[in-house]
Structure 1
Amino acid sequence: MKFGKLLSAVALSGVAMLAACPAVAADVWPSKPIKLVVPFPPGGGTDLVARAIGQKLATRLGQPVVIDNKPGASTIIGTDTVAKADADGYTLLISGSTSYSVNAALRAKLPYDPIKDLAPVAMVARAPLVLVVPANSPFHNLADLTAAARAKPGSLNYSTFGSGSAPHLAGALFGLAAGVKLQDVPYKGSSQALTALISGEIQFGIDTVATAAPQIRSGRLRALAIVGSVRSSLLPDVSTVIEQKLPEAVFDAWYAVAAPARTPAPVLQRLTREIAAVMADPEMQIQLRTQAMEPLTGGPDMLRSQMETEIARYRALAHRVGIVAE
């Protein structure tokens, strides 16, 4: 073989080997522990979902799944860590809409772009919110609440966890859908907000089913509606805002898994398959429902569509009602 042809053959062989590298890497993945980043402190809803999924996923993949809690800056610290991590399938994110859509909609500057810098893997659960009033409240459904708000605009106060929080967005959507003016009142957390509600300091609140259900069952609070698209298995008798003729008031809280952009497609595809199998496990479903979460099996297309839809929706909402994230 002449030298020129030999050189060309070697070059082509090198190109072929380079092209094959991602496939080879995917074939042997995972060969070491996987880090699942949770942008919240231990013990919260996201952390509980992460640990439940991580344990099952580790068994299926044959490698440890290590939970890495990186809280702070409204999930920005943890999310940015994943967005800038090596795209090799060994660093993943599990978080809710704050990381995937709310921050992008409400903040002018972010160190990451969720659409460009994250590769969607799977949606795994919904965490329904519920609109509640004190047990002695005159309001027995959303129509009662809406009528009172319409009669005296701005007279009804509701609890939030600060500007741009889930209860704030849900309350703003409810106000727009019902065509009424409501006043948000920020509290430091669920405990403080529920105490204020039970004492009559505010007229209604919006919180997770997991947090509010014990107070509802004890008779201290009355549930008026699930602020989501489907009922909660923990409160099956409580109808949704859709059923009460306010579909535009839907606010779905959810959890999803993503990887850094440019993670090899075969790795992403296997992750999606394995997580779907984990979420179909009856034991996993029981565990999540016990925590007032609804198991969900949705692939990357569903997650990307959810992100894009919510970013546009919450950006428009923020513009209309003047929401600025803290």
Structure 2
Amino acid sequence: MASVLAPAIALGQQVYPSKPIQFVIPGAPGGITDQLGRLIADRLSGALGQRVIVDNKAGAGGNLAAEFVARAAPDGYTILMGTQGTQVANQYLYSSLKFDPAKDFVPAHALISISSVVVANANQPYRSLKELVDYAKQHPGKLTFASAGNGTSTHLVAELFQKVAGVKFVHVPYKGSAPAISDLLGGQVDLAFDFPVTTVPHINAGKLRALAVTGPARLADLPDVPTTTEAGYPEAQAVAWIGMFLPAGTPAPIVDRIQRETARVLAEPAVVEAVARFGGTPFNQGGAAFGTFVQSEHARWKAIIEQSGARLD
């Protein structure tokens, strides 16, 4: 019983963790991914009794970070903050990767899921998702939607919706959400499928109209806005997500320890509050269940990416 309750894991002659842990984030300092990563790293440092040090490796859509962790020793001292992009979409957006998302990692625990908000310029005539679909069918090829770039979640969620609803919008990619939303506010584009943190302030100011949220539940900040399921398009439900992954071959006791401590961290009120500020929800799913979820995402987004023709190289 004492070994079960011990705060550290004995592996041979070593005790895990016995030194600082490198937490690799596939984004630059300051972004949502970085802010969330630093919060989780800080809480895990206390839970594990060793420093969890953030290492930002931005570039190539997160591939640089994923490749680094895939090649790291499977000893629990290098962890990837993997995204829907690094672990799923990039495999179909890039002609070749120097890692295999399915074979080179073991999922430890999910961290956060973020719904998209379907928003239109407030001057547009449609006031609901159904009215948007009807308008798009009556005016084929007219409506434009802005995204944060080819292959981003803000692009692919819109592609999924078009497939489900049987409509076609014109894609206008930008270099990030900020310029995309700026042009939506200015009327240069008609729609966006973007995140709450970038859209809710403008919705509350009356400058954007929220038509639906793509996640499984309504958002606390937009209680009157229906989900795509409630609006009649259940197959358009989708979220962006982030999770923790270790190199394949990492001993199961280490993976289990990371999973348990992450689950505890995600339940902390301060973490729940911070995740809400990012426009997300704690994604409390670990181990085999999280692995099954990631596998299901491959089949779904592979078809959408191939249909859209999106490429990043």
Common fold: TM-score over 0.5? yes
Map residues 203-242 of structure 1 onto 2, 5 A cutoff.
203-242=190-229
Within the candidate set 113, 117, 128, 1:130 is matched to: 117
- One-letter code aligned to 1:230: A
Call closer, same or farther: CA 1:227–1:325 in 2, change over 3 Å.
farther
Aligned to 2:309: 322
Kindly indicate whether the alpha-carbon contact (under 8 Å) linking 1:234 and 1:289 is maintained by their aligned counterparts in 2.
Answer: no
Give the equivalent residue in structure 1 for 2:5.
none
Q: Which residue of 2 aligns with 1:168?
A: 155
- Aligned pair partner of 1:77 in 41, 48, 64: 64
Shift of 1:263: 0.5
Percent identity over paired residues: 38
Shift of 1:189: 1.6
Find 2:97's aligned residue among 110, 113, 134.
110
2 CA distance for matches of 1:123 and 1:61?
A: 18
Structure that is richer in helix per residue: 1
Q: Distance in 2 between matches of 1:213 and 1:270?
A: 37
Runs of 4+ that moved beyond 4 A: none
C-alpha distance in 1 between matches for 2:259 and 2:78 = 15
Q: How far off its partner does 1:236 sit?
A: 2.5
Aligned to 1:9: none
1:25–1:214: structure 2 CA closer, same or farther, 3 Å change rule?
farther
Structure 2: stretches of 5+ with no match in the other structure:
1-8
User: Distance in 2 between the 1:304 and 1:26 partners?
Assistant: 30
Aligned counterpart for 1:257 among listed residues 221, 238, 244: 244
Q: Is residue 2:171 matched to residue 1:191?
A: no
Distance (Å, rounded) in 2 between the aligned partners of 1:68 and 1:90: 12
Q: Which amino acid aligns with 1:55?
A: D
Alignment of 1:82-101 (within 5 A): 82-101=69-88
SS in 1 for 2:108: strand
> Contact conserved, 1:279 with 1:297, CA < 8 A, in 2?
yes
Q: Report SS of the residue matched to 1:283.
A: helix
Q: Mapping of 1:147-162 within 5 angstroms?
A: 147-162=134-149
**What amino acid sits opposite 1:318 in the alignment?**
I
- C-alpha contact (below 8 Å) 1:123/1:302 kept by paired residues: no
Asked if residue 33 in structure 1 is aligned to residue 20 in structure 2, the reply is yes
- Is the aligned partner of 1:300 residue 2:270? no
In 1, Cα distance between the equivalents of 2:253 and 2:298? 28
User: Alpha carbons of 1:26 and 1:193: their partners in 2 closer, same or farther (altered >3 Å)?
Assistant: farther
- Structure number with bigger Rg: 1
1:225: how far off?
0.8
* Structure 2 partner of 1:11: none
**Residues of 2 paired with 1:279 and 1:74: CA distance?**
26
For 1:90 and 1:233, locate their aligned partners in 2 and report how far apart those are by CA, in whole Å. 37
**Aligned 8 A contact 1:226 1:238 in 2:** yes
> What is the TM-score with the length of structure 1 in the denominator?
0.90
Distance in 2 between the 1:212 and 1:25 partners?
51
Residues 215 and 227, structure 2, Cα contact 8 Å, conserved in 1: yes
Q: Matches of 1:290 and 1:168 in 2, distance apart? A: 23
Please name the residue that 1:3 is paired with: none
**Structure-2 separation of matches of 1:267 and 1:204:** 45
Give distance in 2, aligned partners of 1:76 and 1:196: 29
Count of residue correspondences: 305
CA deviation digits over 1:209-267, x for unaligned, max 9?
A: 11111111111111111122222233232211111111222221011000000001100
Structure 1 residues 325, 230: closer, same or farther in 2, change over 3 A?
farther
Report if aligned partners of 2:149, 2:176 keep a CA contact under 8 Å in 1. no
Shift, 1:160, TM fit: 1.4
User: Contact conserved, 2:256 with 2:287, CA < 8 A, in 1?
Assistant: no
CA contact (8 A) 2:22 2:54 kept: yes
